[in-house]
């Protein structure tokens, strides 16, 4: 992934948080086959310790035409779900939480992970999460990618719907301001 390559090449002065970006096949494989089939994503040969990351990004392909994003936010001890259309997580956070518990057992030898101080948060428009607008049904992938990009830079995620004279329902401008 482009974002993972950027993150891997970053230095302390670049302002990027330590992050890991799963690929788009991670979630469907986890859902269909369970932890044993995704265990290899962080195998020792890959030298990936998800517990050393501030943020872990899981792109979610919902159905056949929609993208959302799940984030394991270690900084705020939260499992987060971003959907630019404002939909529910439909069990995504439960699956990601279960994955982290299995990873803790497998990689750290912790039989039962105490996640009682972790919360689930499905971001909604009222929380300030980006929304692509009712007339725009095609920018969800862009929203998912830009949300991951901004969060990995420790930037505030904000969006402004801008109407274009040529394409009034699909032109979107994303803006960010560093926190």
Active site residue 140: yes
Cα 75 from Cα 83, distance rounded (Å): 21
Cα 47 from Cα 8, distance rounded (Å): 12
CB within 8 Å of 149: residues ≥ 6 apart? 3
Put residue 63 in one of left, alpha, beta given phi > 0 → left and psi -120 to 50 → alpha.
left
Active site residue 83: yes
Catalytic residue among 27, 83, 89, 139: 83
- Alpha-carbon separation of residue 166 from 118, 141, 161, 171, 179 (angstroms): 45, 21, 14, 9, 34
Catalytic residue among 49, 61, 66, 120: 66
Residue pair 31/95 in contact by the 8 Å Cβ criterion: yes
Supply the DSSP string of 161-177, one letter for each residue: E---SS-TTT-EEEEEE
Q: Which residues are catalytic?
A: 66, 83, 140
């Amino acid at each position: 992934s482009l974002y993972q390559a950027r993150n891997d090449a970053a230095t302390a002065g670049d302002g990027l948080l330590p992050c890991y970006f799963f690929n788009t096949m991670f979630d469907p494989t986890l859902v269909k086959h369970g932890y044993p089939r995704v265990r290899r994503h962080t195998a020792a040969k890959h030298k990936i310790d998800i517990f050393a990351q501030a943020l872990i990004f899981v792109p979610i392909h919902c159905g056949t035409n929609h993208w959302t994003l799940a984030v394991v936010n270690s900084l705020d001890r939260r499992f987060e779900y971003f959907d630019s259309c404002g939909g529910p997580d439909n069990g995504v956070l439960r699956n990601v939480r279960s994955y982290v518990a299995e990873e803790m057992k497998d990689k750290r030898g912790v039989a039962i992970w105490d996640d009682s101080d972790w919360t689930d948060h499905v971001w909604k428009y009222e929380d300030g999460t980006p929304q692509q607008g009712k007339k725009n049904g095609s920018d969800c992938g862009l929203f998912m990618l830009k949300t991951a990009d901004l969060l990995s830079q420790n930037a505030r995620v904000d969006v402004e719907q801008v109407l274009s004279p040529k394409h009034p329902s699909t032109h979107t401008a994303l803006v960010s301001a560093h926190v």
